[in-house]
Structure 1
């Protein structure tokens, strides 16, 4: 039995082809964006997924620079001085302390490992800082330390994911993606969420800056520290800007036609990606041109764009340049803090690479008037144990194991009280005894500085409303906030 044309049409085709069909309305709206250059720009700004949006509260910070020290820095050798550890060094840890605890590699008869460096008080705040952080000691009155942070996970990959996405399982949106989705960006020609890396591989991998179930346009964009920030962002020889513009316009028209047919939001993401790439071809060379910086600024950071050995310093300077240009979330990863042996040498080496640039970032933002509305965060995925993991008798120099129960983070800038220290651990630095702060509390605090209620920033997926901070009850750390 043959069917006439009306009978052969599917429901989708009916709506597409009818006089007031949904498909034609969508297509007309998309085509209107390219009717004239000025109209296209206005329509694009209005429809852009990165358009700035108001938060739930007045925001103290406009952007975040998160210095993530992957591998877990030893808080006991940098920030949390414990005289009792020096007194008990070499003696077995009391069994009652570690009873019922889980560790990655520690032995039940592990001995106490004392602080590996001298500590001194600095600034008007009198905060105790290790001798391996002489530059940070100079800006201690501009930062707020929290010595009582704790987390749920004790292995690197899930713990790094937990800090970055709120879940130890891959597939959840990262913090930068949540911010891009929630409040957009002030950058018109750069991504809203940029990732900078140094120091080696990251256990959590690209899942730490993925958009998860959010629209993929909000995922982090990794930048390189030298040359083009993204491979192939520059046109090949003989292919000028006009030809590139015409090519993208044709591709956009084809994508618009396809979008009107199927309504797949990822097609819109693809169109946005092409437009962002085109804009970056103009912005990227200027962004990466450190010759615009004074020699005094380069010396302040210890930066040298031609020296890969200064990758972290270069990335901190690049982070400041991205912040100036309106990027919402700048994630600076530095790996190499996993010191299961030779914790003394390892911490010394890492601080030599990072201390100067971290302090310089705060100084530079402050003198440019950017620190007041830029939130700087420093921390790893967990801390290190008060016990030694391996002894010299085993042929290994002394190191510390993973310690999720307590570690230190510091904050500076937009919305944060400067020159304070919150939280206290017990005499062995094992458990928080005052003002414990969960990783989800840290995330809620960061969102609060940006004017966001962490309980209201949600996305419905598979029938549930997901959020960065999970379903448990967590709160911003009010004592940190201005």
Structure 2
């Protein structure tokens, strides 16, 4: 029976598996156990020269930690210093600078567009002399370990399509997320943990929601969907045994269930029957692995001090950064954090100060912690939001109480580790911080570069769905070679 059962596992059809798989919250991505058998490339829907689970070339990074700042932090109060805006405070944005830029409904009817400089000062840090806002002193101190990209751009001007674009490579829904593509392309390093995990936190600022489509597997197999870890008593829903059932009972139940599933498979030939038992087995293994990962009580005092006291408070950004290190350290391929609260259309100086305080120390600590452990070289860390902010005030201009609207034309992110050049400031915006004048980086270029660092040619990582081959970068994207070691 074991031989027949193994053959059935190897013969699972992807499309049928996806179309019939039950979408349980905790079990969706638990089938990472299947990857060694299912994804050998035999009968694959992928390109002939791409074999899931095997990189196209030697990778610089083994895994990714993406610190997504949901709501779009202002580049003009963080990493793109523009003294010209202070000099021209209150003056009108020149029409020649604005050009034909489409505006959101929140500012399209404004009669004037008064320029406003940052309420906060900037300083230069490290040998790189990178300008960083006083809101981010801890990140400033690691300036020589990170690469600041000041020339990101996107087409999307509203949160939902922009956020979806960054996470999935498309502005519409129902596409696989970046973490799902990475899971599909490389699989998991740890058979006791999913390849793709998701952590959520929320600041005190004006928040934009996050939703499960952002970590969806789309048309990929459900085993590639992100598994959300919560801060509650049960970090993964439906993982724990019910009252009255111990580990031995669970083991006996799974063995009997496997026998029944084998009989059902022989009778009905439904691949889902053979697949479900593999998910149960993965959940069984996670029951031991997850509690140990989630336990931060054994972290030494110097690590707690580095991340800040909030790292001991479950569900905070600091706690999630520490957990991201632990997950990554234990072989989780893609760890996605979302921190909400960056949508400052008004009261920006006060709200952004609170948001920055939430993330500054822990973000820098994560990079430092990985570096101290010798893990930064093989871990790609990313920090940034879905677009930038306008250089003019939204609504009434007040120096200490202004807001900025959405700005997709030019904004900043930073990256560290994983073969990215440290101590580099890449790209440049004009003196108004409105248009890119050097080395533009599109979202598709961003995705192509991440995959490249993981050893994947973005043009070869494809999956056929409904008669068309899809990829994370659609039909575009170029590796940004200027930021690579």
**TM over 0.5, shorter chain:** yes
1:390 Cα deviation (Å)?
1.6
2:411 to 387, 393, 407: 407
Structure 1 pair 275–323 and aligned structure 2 pair: CA distance change class (3 A):
same
Q: Is residue 386 of structure 1 aligned with residue 391 of structure 2? A: yes
Q: Note the aligned Cα RMSD (angstroms).
A: 2.5
* CA distance in structure 2 between the aligned counterparts of 1:389 and 1:364, rounded to whole angstroms: 39
Q: Is residue 240 of structure 1 aligned with residue 252 of structure 2? A: no
2:382 to 377, 384, 387: 377
- The 5 Å alignment of 1:17-416 reads 29-30=7-8, 46-47=36-37, 53-104=53-104, 105-106=106-107, 107-199=110-202, 202-260=208-266, 264=270, 266-267=272-273, 269-304=275-310, 307=313, 311-391=316-396, 397-416=401-420
* CA distance in structure 2 between the aligned counterparts of 1:431 and 1:262, rounded to whole angstroms: 61
Q: Is residue 452 of structure 1 aligned with residue 456 of structure 2? A: yes
* CA distance in structure 1 between the aligned counterparts of 2:270 and 2:414, rounded to whole angstroms: 42
Is the partner of 1:217 in helix, strand or coil? helix
Is the partner of 1:292 in helix, strand or coil? coil
1:29 Cα deviation (Å)?
1.7
Structure 1 pair 293–332 and aligned structure 2 pair: CA distance change class (3 A):
same
CA deviations over 1:211-260 (Å, ceiling 9, x no partner): 00000110000001343311342223431101111222333344444445
Task: Return 97-106 or 373-382, whichever deviates more.
Answer: 97-106
Question: In the alignment, is the contact (CA less than 8 A) between 1:161 and 1:204 conserved in 2?
Answer: no
Question: In the alignment, is the contact (CA less than 8 A) between 1:216 and 1:269 conserved in 2?
Answer: no
Give the TM-score of the pair, scaled to structure 1: 0.87
* CA distance in structure 2 between the aligned counterparts of 1:269 and 1:425, rounded to whole angstroms: 51
Structure 1 pair 249–130 and aligned structure 2 pair: CA distance change class (3 A):
same
Q: Which runs of 5+ in 1 are unaligned?
A: 1-23, 34-42
Give the TM-score of the pair, scaled to structure 2: 0.87
Is the partner of 1:386 in helix, strand or coil? coil
Question: In the alignment, is the contact (CA less than 8 A) between 1:209 and 1:220 conserved in 2?
Answer: yes
Number of corresponding residues: 447
Question: In the alignment, is the contact (CA less than 8 A) between 1:85 and 1:113 conserved in 2?
Answer: yes
Is the partner of 2:87 in helix, strand or coil? helix
* CA distance in structure 2 between the aligned counterparts of 1:264 and 1:121, rounded to whole angstroms: 62
Structure 1 pair 241–146 and aligned structure 2 pair: CA distance change class (3 A):
same
1:26 Cα deviation (Å)?
6.4
Question: In the alignment, is the contact (CA less than 8 A) between 2:190 and 2:331 conserved in 1?
Answer: yes
1:32 Cα deviation (Å)?
11
Is the partner of 1:158 in helix, strand or coil? helix
Structure 1 pair 272–125 and aligned structure 2 pair: CA distance change class (3 A):
same
